[in-house]
Structure 1
């Protein structure tokens, strides 16, 4: 592997929590925070961080569930899925948003980070990226099938940074009516991009899931890189 990776400690007030850090081959670059689904910083999320490190970004995947259960790694089905839902329900969302801010601050303090800090979140992490953008701790945010954003539209006005949204047309968790509500709230804003992928379901970016869609994942990755390159 051309990237170097390690777990680091992220200061959080009087405490700290872990994060998986992947550095680009050149050693320095702008930064992305990779925000997990409900399945923890598992092998897939680590591979996403590695992918963005290979794209030249300093990538950090913080352990969002640390306050409930640190370093959890789950698969996508059965009992593991139930466990992920349970952990998400136990976690206070405002704590998780604060922790994204801590992750951004940790990145800005790293000598390897030479540019801005954006977040790329998946599912639950997509909602976190959106809420963290509203909190003001990011220079940009990207939400892949961010569940529940349509229930937090009051936050949209607080977002002063560019945002990109990716949705699967067949996603039963986020119906197109919900996507429409989010689009409506961002109407007229030149700093917000929306992409809806035909024949793609929830989780289409994850090659470990049955819903993986190579075409949608490749398109979305390219659009994400373009967004980061142009907006940051």
Structure 2
């Protein structure tokens, strides 16, 4: 269902919420560069089916409201353009607002995909709001590899991701040996999204299982 959030700077933004509102565990789901679209809502619903309260903030509301893109080349270009207009520090305020909208007392985690993978990393390194963080193919993590996570982090990357070279992944591994990193042989960017040509069902299933097990360990 749709809901509204208010960030600490007064900005209001939409969000998709799912799951039991009295859940003992909650997740902020950080979107790809395609908005809170059908795929992201399905991701949220899947976590909700596992018993999580879920909030997925519309991070593009900082620059344009109601954005829902597909996965064609024009959509990719549009998503990148929108992302480039948003200050990462303001995105942190938005995920903090999403965390605050989770049930009181819930153990909170954050998971993100694509751009959201980097946002999840910032959630771990730039806030104290989360007890665990998972990032799937976050292209900006290498640039922020020297930031120290304040909670356990698990990262997932595709071996053949054209936008995240393995050198970047190894740089993150070297800088942050405490972070759990998985690389999926032959997988490309967006391998977890069944609406993309790069979708890899086996890798997506394995990464999902690892994500759920990680949250089970750290969110109780």
Is 1:120 aligned to residue 111 of structure 2? Answer: yes
TM-score, normalization: structure 1? 0.90
Q: How many residues align?
A: 217
2:39 aligned partner: 44
CA RMSD in angstroms, aligned pairs only: 1.4
Deviation at 1:41, TM superposition (A): 0.1
TM-score, normalization: structure 2? 0.94
1:184 aligned partner: 174
**Structure 1: runs of 5 or more not aligned:** 1-5
Q: Secondary structure at the match of 2:62?
A: coil
CA distance in 2, matches of 1:22, 1:211: 27
CA distance in 2, matches of 1:117, 1:81: 30
Instruction: Map residues 151-166 of structure 1 onto 2, 5 A cutoff.
Output: 151-155=143-147, 157=148, 159-166=149-156
**Structure 2: runs of 5 or more not aligned:** none
CA distance in 2, matches of 1:153, 1:223: 22
Q: Secondary structure at the match of 1:65?
A: helix
In the TM superposition, what whole-angstrom CA distance separates every residue of 1:164-195 from its partner, at most 9, and x where no partner exists? 000111111111110000011112x2xx2111
CA distance in 2, matches of 1:209, 1:27: 34
Residue 213 of structure 1, aligned match among 181, 197, 200: 200
Residue 73 of structure 2, aligned match among 78, 83, 92: 78
Instruction: Map residues 194-209 of structure 1 onto 2, 5 A cutoff.
Output: 194-209=181-196
**Greater than 6 Å deviation, 4+ residue runs:** none
Give the conservation status (yes or no) of the 8 Å contact 1:119–1:129: yes
Is 1:172 aligned to residue 162 of structure 2? Answer: yes
